[in-house]
Amino acid sequence: MRFLHTADWHIGKKLHGYDLLEEQTDAFKQILAIAKDEQVDAIVIAGDLYDRSVPSVEAIEVFNRMIVEMNLQEKFPVLAISGNHDSSTRLETGGPWFIQSNFHLNTRLDQAFQPVEMENTQFFLLPYFEPISARLYFDNEEIRTIEQAMKEVITAMEKQFKPDMAHVLVSHFFVAGSEKSDSETKLMVGGLDTVPLSLLESFDYVALGHLHGKNALQAENARYSGSPLKFSLSEMNQKKGVWIVDTQVGETAFEFKEIQPLRDIVQIEGSFKELTAQQFYESFDCENYVHIQLTDRAVIPNMMNQLRQIYPRVIGVERLFGRELQQKRNETKKEIKALAPTELVGQFFSEVTGEELTQQQRVWIKDNLAELHQAERGK
C-alpha cells in the first residue's frame, strides 16, 4: 500500500502577527497534487490540524474546504488524529459520519486500539494524550509518565496485529533523540515528553507529528513529516514537504517529496542605507517574511515604517551592535522557555520561600497541571 504522510498543518497559525491562511492553502494544493501524482491510496495527517484548541472561523472554513476537496471530491481516504494543539472534543464532533466517507479521525485514546485496515496494512491511529488518560483507561495508578503509558498502549495494539499485514502507527509525540525547533510547544505537562524509540520497533512504519523538521528523527521505521510551512526563524533552512510511504509485510520504503513556500522566510544583514537602496532590495523577493540584522549604531527615526514600505512582512529587526548583551538576554529567555511547567513552578517556589519543593508537592503539581491541561483541550 502507498500513502502520503503529513502533519502539523496548524491551520490558523500566525507568524509574528501575519496571517498564514493563504500560504497554508497553497501548501495544501501542493500536497494534494503530490498525492495525485504519486497515486497514493490514502493520506495520513499525524496531528495538529489546527493551531489552537478554539480555532478562528476563518481557520475552520479553510480546513473544511481542504477536507472536502481531499476526501469528497478527490476521494482520498484520510486517516487523521488530534494533536496537542487541537481540541479533541471539538474535533470529535462529526466523527460518526466522517467515517462513512473514509475519513477516519481519532481523538480519544480508546479509539487507537481499533485499527483501520486498508489493503495490506493496519493503521493504529493514536491521538495526543496525557498519562492521566492512560491511567484511567488501563485502570492503573502506577502510570505517571508517557513511557509507562506507551508500554501499555503498544502491548494492547500488538494484540491486534495480523501477521499477514504491515503495521503502521500514527501518533503525535516527542521521540527520544529527536531535535526540536523554536515553533514547537513542549509536551511536558504530566510527563508527556519522551518516548523511547525502542518501544516502536514492532511497527513497520511510525508516522509522527509534533516536531516541525523532517530530519528531527532518523530512524529505520519512524519519521516526522515536519510542518508544510516554516513557522519560525529557526526553520529558515529546513526543506518542507511530505513522505510517500510504501508498505509491505516486513519491508517499508519511504521517500520525501518537497514543497515550495508561497512566501519564504529569509534573513538579510546590512546597514539601513544598504538595505533601503533600490539596487539591493530589487535583488530578491520583498514579499517574503524578512528578519533584518542591522549593522548601524545610530538611532534611526521612524525605522520600522521605512523598512516596511520596502519589506511589508518584517518579522523582526536585530541590532548587531551590542550583540553580546542581546545574546545573553536571548540565552536567558531560552533557558526559561526550556523549563517544564513543573520546573517553572519549582523555581518560583524556591525564589519566594527559599525552600525546595518536596517530592509529594511535585507530584501534586504535575497531576493538577495535567488535569488542567486536559480540561483546557476539552473545551
Q: What is the DSSP string of 138-155?
A: TT-TT--SHHHHHHHHHH
Q: What is the pLDDT of residue 84?
A: 92
DSSP 17: T
pTM: 0.82
Query: Region 333-351: what's the mean pLDDT?
Result: 68
Which parts of the chain are beta strand (E)? 2-6, 14-15, 18-19, 42-46, 78-81, 103-106, 116-118, 121-125, 166-172, 205-209, 222-224, 240-248, 251-259, 265-270, 289-294, 314-319
CA distances (Å), origin 121, targets 102, 220, 251, 261, 366: 15, 18, 12, 32, 38
As a whole number, mean pLDDT of residues 200-219 equals 94
- The model's pLDDT over 77-110, given as tens digits with 9 standing for 90+, comes to 999 999 999 998 888 887 778 888 999 999 999 9
| 3-class SS of residue 358 | coil
- CB contact at 8 A, 45 and 31: no
Q: What's the pLDDT at 356?
A: 76
Please say whether the beta carbons of 161 and 122 come within 8 A.
yes
Residue 180 has pLDDT above 70, yes or no: no
Asked if pLDDT for residue 312 goes beyond 50, the answer is yes
From CA 100, how far away is CA 306, in angstroms rounded?
55
pLDDT at 155: 97
What's the pLDDT score for residue 321? Answer: 81
Mean pLDDT score of the chain, rounded to an integer?
A: 88
Say yes or no to pLDDT of 342 above 60: yes
For 222-263, what is each residue's pLDDT tens digit?
999 999 999 999 999 999 999 999 998 778 999 999 999 999
The CA distance from 28 to 59, in Å, is 13
Contact 48, 209 (CB under 8 A): yes
* 161 grid coordinates: 496485529
Report whether 49 contacts 81 (CB < 8 A). Answer: no
**286 pLDDT band (50/70/90 cuts)?**
very high
Q: What is the dihedral of CA 46, 49, 53, 57, to 10 degrees?
A: -170
Q: Estimate to the nearest angstrom the gap between the alpha carbon of 327 and the chain centroid.
A: 27
CB-CB contact of 46 with 225 (8 Å) = yes
Cell of 14: 500566525
Cα 29 off chain centre by = 19
pLDDT digits (tens, 9 = 90+) for 22-60: 999 999 999 999 999 999 999 999 999 999 999 999 999
Confidence of residue 275 (pLDDT cuts 50, 70, 90): very high
Question: Which 3 state secondary structure label does DSSP give 80?
Answer: strand
Written as nine digits, the cell of 341 is 511547567
The predicted pLDDT at position 373 comes to 62
What is the tens place of the pLDDT at every residue in 101-139?
A: 999 999 999 999 999 999 999 999 999 999 999 999 999
Q: Angle of helix 359-377 relative to helix 341-353, nearest 10 degrees?
A: 130
The total number of residues written for the chain in this structure:
379
More confident residue, 266 or 283: 266
Which percentage of the chain shows pLDDT scores above 90? 70
- Looking at the DSSP assignment, which residues form a beta bridge with residue 227? none
Q: What is the pLDDT of residue 189?
A: 38
Q: pLDDT tens, 290-308?
A: 999 999 988 899 999 999 9
Q: Quote the pLDDT of residue 227.
A: 97
Tell me: pLDDT of 191 over 50: no
